[in-house]
Structure 1
Amino acid sequence: MGSNSSSVNNIPNAQELMQETGFSAAHILRLYERFECLDKDKRGQLRPQDFGAVRELAMNPIGDRIISAFFSPGQETVDFASFVRILAHFRPTETNQTRDGAKQEPANSRTRKLKFAFQLYDQDRDGKISRVELLQVLRAMLGMQVTEEQLQSIAERAIQEADLDKDDAISFDEFRKSLEKADIDHRMSIRFLR
């Protein structure tokens, strides 16, 4: 690890990012290499179109939503630290995780993973997944495999099952409750460190 730690010292805020995200020095180095590959202009900033080089995102039916999750509303670029913080959501949850001195819940906690997933649906950021937002995701994911009538039926059933307060939308708490038994760690993991 000697070479890793000496190289990681050349990455701005690397120690702080390792502490905050739980990534090892080797992971930070690997992510930095990936970031630099995506940063074709060598500006230290990525734009949404730079993510087009990631084959898995280009092939993902909701890849554009995943890419937009890297950017706050109105933000046009993302720096390395923000890139790492977002990717930390996809790091497996550790069963013996300690948070000594941590100011907030780790990005790879179940709750933070669910919040990240929720925002992929809640595109208008109003704190609810509307029927229209749900249908947009279903159309992107299922495309021509099912009819519009089937999509409407799936959306209707999903809202009926999850919408506990009967406001015709799914809040984060309802979203979390509907996914209580889901293996979020498995569903929200990517192999970006290979």
Structure 2
Amino acid sequence: MGGHNSYCPLTTEELQEYEGVTGMNTAEITQAFKKFYKIDPLTFMEHRKGRIPYLTVAETLPELKNNPFRYRIGKVFCSSETGFMDFDDFLEMAAAMHDKTPLNVRLHWAFQIYDINEDGVICENDLDKMLDLLTDNRLLKSEKEGIILRILSDGDTDADSALSFQEFERSISLNWKQEFEE
């Protein structure tokens, strides 16, 4: 009857708890579980709590597999040092990308994704790697330097050659306002 695609062992209590934490409804949470399970049912069943390597999630999930930041996204949302993502991690990722998620929460996760070297700021090295990912390494060094200089001159208010979360948030908010309110 249902087969692997309909497998969802979540209890009513778990669904209600997930609703409270994520802001997603029961149908969305159930759909997320089915999507997570479908990525790799065998690995899911072999590992405690249904852990799947984040690399597999990044390469298989339709919403991520063509995203140049897919591996970084998977890594940021993976809470395990071993590189295995459980459903809680997966659901946190889905909730962060949900259209009802507040902008400040989305910005928090975007900052984590763009802070590639994980030093707490988006520095020139992070921006360089981001541009390589976004352009498939097609920019000349001088072009990248110009873009990085522009980003930092617009957003780096304390002149430390990096964007703190507050500077990142301010830059995105200002650009958002300019883009959509003009």
Q: Which residue of 2 aligns with 1:79?
A: 86
Q: Which residue of 1 aligns with 2:23?
A: 22
Per the alignment, in what secondary structure is the counterpart of residue 24 of structure 2?
coil
Per the alignment, in what secondary structure is the counterpart of residue 36 of structure 1?
helix
Query: 1:83–1:73: structure 2 CA closer, same or farther, 3 Å change rule?
Result: closer
* Aligned-residue identity in percent: 27
Partner Cα separation in structure 2 for residue 109 and residue 77 of structure 1: 27
Q: Which residue of 1 aligns with 2:3?
A: none
What stretches of structure 1 of length at least 5 have no aligned partner? 1-6, 94-107, 185-194
Partner Cα separation in structure 2 for residue 8 and residue 54 of structure 1: 17
Partner Cα separation in structure 1 for residue 80 and residue 51 of structure 2: 16
Counterparts of residues 1-194 of structure 1 (less than 5 Å): 10-12=9-11, 13-40=14-41, 41=43, 42=45, 43=47, 44-51=50-57, 52-72=59-79, 74-93=81-100, 108-183=101-176
Q: Taking structure 2 as the reference length, what is the TM-score of the superposition? A: 0.81
CA RMSD of the aligned region, Å?
Answer: 2.3
Matched AA of 2:81: G
Higher normalized helix content (fraction of residues): 2
1:81 Cα offset (Å): 1.9
Per the alignment, in what secondary structure is the counterpart of residue 119 of structure 1?
helix
1:22 Cα offset (Å): 1.3
1:145 Cα offset (Å): 3.8
- The answer to whether the 8 A contact 2:36-2:87 is kept is yes
Question: Which structure would you say has the larger RCO, counting Cα contacts within 8 Å and 6 or more residues apart?
Answer: 1
1:48 Cα offset (Å): 1.8
Partner Cα separation in structure 1 for residue 40 and residue 125 of structure 2: 34
- The answer to whether the 8 A contact 1:114-1:176 is kept is yes
How many pairs does the alignment contain? 164
- The answer to whether the 8 A contact 2:75-2:83 is kept is no
Matched AA of 1:71: C
Query: 1:173–1:135: structure 2 CA closer, same or farther, 3 Å change rule?
Result: same
Partner Cα separation in structure 1 for residue 123 and residue 173 of structure 2: 20
